[in-house]
A and B are shown apart, each in its own frame.
Chain A
């Protein structure tokens, strides 16, 4: 791995972590419940992107399955939380 790519990966990871920190602040601050759900969904997506970047960093495609699982679980959790906000029940 060349130094250019290594530096780029480090910069990208730092940017992702900053964005996740902003999402975490919104999660703690968020005036309403739907703000918090939105922040959780955003943090799931950023975590998935972070795993894809780690796959490039460690040159292994094992991270890909983890990223796919994170997409699916993020979708299920966000929809379940939004459904709970909408109806007061998840499965009726």
Chain B
């Protein structure tokens, strides 16, 4: 006999597995580093949230009250994941610029250098 909470946990777990697999496929298949940076964010945000939700449902359904301590992982992860991404992106930009490789285009078009005013 499968209870409702077990169905919920099962569906959430399989969903998170699909998310992590999509992130892995993106990490493997995308052609450029700055494109590849998007993929693991799927694992560290959406999949982690879903697994946390499944864990809360599972441990709360045992009848010992609400168990929210797994939430701590989400808090830590949502603080640390952007920092990692940012530092890594800066490192990649720096190394590409040093190596003279092609960089991704800037967000704002760079302003045209004005020619120096000609002396009259």
Residue positions of A touching B, CB distance < 8 A: 1-5, 7-9, 11-16, 18-23, 25-26, 32-35, 37-39, 41-42, 45-46, 48-49, 52-53, 55-56, 61, 64, 67-68, 71-72, 74-75, 78-79, 82-83, 85-86
User: Can you name the residue of chain B whose Cβ is closest to the Cβ of A2?
Assistant: B2
Q: What separation, in Å, do the CA atoms of A52 and B94 have in the docked complex? A: 36
Contact residues in B for A56 (Cβ distance below 8 Å) = 9, 13, 54-55, 58
Are A75 and B83 in contact, with the CB atoms below 8 A?
yes
Contact residues in A for B6 (Cβ distance below 8 Å) = 1-2, 4-5
Residue positions of B touching A, CB distance < 8 A: 1-3, 6-7, 9-11, 13-14, 16-18, 20-21, 23-25, 27-28, 33, 36-37, 39-40, 43-44, 47-48, 51-52, 54-55, 58-59, 67, 69-70, 72-73, 76-77, 80, 83-84, 87-88, 90-92, 94-95
Q: What separation, in Å, do the CA atoms of A55 and B59 have in the docked complex? A: 10
Are A12 and B17 in contact, with the CB atoms below 8 A?
yes
Contact residues in B for A12 (Cβ distance below 8 Å) = 13-14, 16-17
- A16 CB to closest chain B CB (Å) equals 6
- B78 CB to closest chain A CB (Å) equals 10
- A66 CB to closest chain B CB (Å) equals 11
